Chains A and B, each alone.
Chain A
Amino acid sequence: MTTDSITVISANVATSKARAELANRKSKISGWNQIALIAAKEFGDRFRSGWVVACIFVWLGAIALTSFFGLIQIGQIGAQGYERTVISLLNLVQYLVPLLGLLLGHDLIVSENEERTLRLALAGGVGRLRFLAGKFLGGCLALATPLVSGFVIAGTVVGLSAKDSGVAPFLRLAISGLVLGILFLAIGLAISTFSRTRVQALVAALLAWCLVVFVFDLVALGIMISTRAPAAAQEIEVLCDTTHINSAADIHSDFDSATETQSRSGQAPENPSIGWLAANPVDLFRAINLSGQTELDVPWPVTFAATAFWLAFPLAAGFWKLRRTDL
Chain B
Amino acid sequence: MQPFLEFQSVTKRFNRVDALRDISFSIERGRVLALLGPNGAGKSTLFGCFLGITIPTGGKILLNGKMIADADRAAIGYVAERVALYPQRTVIENADFFTRLKGHSSHEAEEQLKRVGMSGARDRKIRQLSKGMLQRLGLAIALCGQPEILVLDEPFNGLDPALLDVLQGILREENERGATLLISTHTMSAVEPLATDAAILLRGKLAAFGALEKLRAENNSADSLEDIYYQIARGQYVTEEMFA
A residues with CB within 8 A of B: 15, 18-19, 22-23, 25-29, 33-34, 37-38, 41, 45, 48-49, 115-117, 119-128, 130, 323-327
- Smallest CB gap from A34: residue in B: B101
Distance A216 CA – B98 CA, assembled complex (angstroms): 43
B53 and A124 within 8 A (CB): no
Given contacts A22-B148, A326-B55, contact A124 B78 (CB under 8 A): yes
Chain A hits for B73, CB < 8 A: 122-125
Distance A122 CA – B74 CA, assembled complex (angstroms): 9
Size class of the B contact interface (CB-based, 8 Å): 35 or more
Distance A125 CA – B63 CA, assembled complex (angstroms): 14
Chain B hits for A41, CB < 8 A: 97
Instruction: Give the one of B30, B80, B102 with max A CB within 10 A.
Output: B102
Distance A285 CA – B54 CA, assembled complex (angstroms): 40
Interface string of B39-79 (1 = CB under 8 A from A): 00000000010011111000000001000001111111010
Interface string of B78-122 (1 = CB under 8 A from A): 101010111111000000011011111000000000000000000
Query: Measured between C-beta atoms, what is the minimum distance from A207 to chain B in Å?
Result: 27
Query: Measured between C-beta atoms, what is the minimum distance from B117 to chain A in Å?
Result: 21
B179 lies within 8 A of chain A by Cβ: yes
B146 and A33 within 8 A (CB): no
> Which listed residue (B88, B100, B104, B148) contacts A23, Cβ 8 A?
B148
Chain B hits for A28, CB < 8 A: 103
Chain B hits for A116, CB < 8 A: 80, 82, 84
Distance A49 CA – B84 CA, assembled complex (angstroms): 20
Chain A hits for B145, CB < 8 A: 25, 27
B75 and A26 within 8 A (CB): yes
B102 and A123 within 8 A (CB): no
B177 lies within 8 A of chain A by Cβ: yes
Tally of contacts, chain A with chain B, CB under 8 A: 111
Distance A123 CA – B141 CA, assembled complex (angstroms): 12
B237 lies within 8 A of chain A by Cβ: no
Give the secondary structure class of A's interface.
helix
Given contacts A27-B145, A124-B73, A125-B76, contact A119 B84 (CB under 8 A): yes
Distance A326 CA – B45 CA, assembled complex (angstroms): 10
Query: Measured between C-beta atoms, what is the minimum distance from A252 to chain B in Å?
Result: 45
- Smallest CB gap from A120: residue in B: B98
B243 lies within 8 A of chain A by Cβ: no
Interface string of B165-181 (1 = CB under 8 A from A): 00000000000011100
Chain B hits for A48, CB < 8 A: 88
Could you list some 27 contacts between A and B, CB below 8 A?
Answer: A15-B178, A19-B29, A22-B177, A22-B179, A23-B148, A25-B146, A26-B74, A26-B75, A27-B75, A29-B101, A117-B85, A120-B80, A120-B84, A120-B85, A121-B101, A122-B53, A123-B52, A123-B151, A124-B73, A125-B74, A125-B75, A125-B76, A125-B102, A127-B71, A130-B70, A326-B55, A327-B54
Interface string of B157-199 (1 = CB under 8 A from A): 0000000000000000000011100000000000000000000
- Smallest CB gap from A116: residue in B: B84
A119 and B53 within 8 A (CB): yes
Chain A hits for B76, CB < 8 A: 123-125
Chain A hits for B103, CB < 8 A: 27-29, 33
Chain B hits for A45, CB < 8 A: 86, 88-89
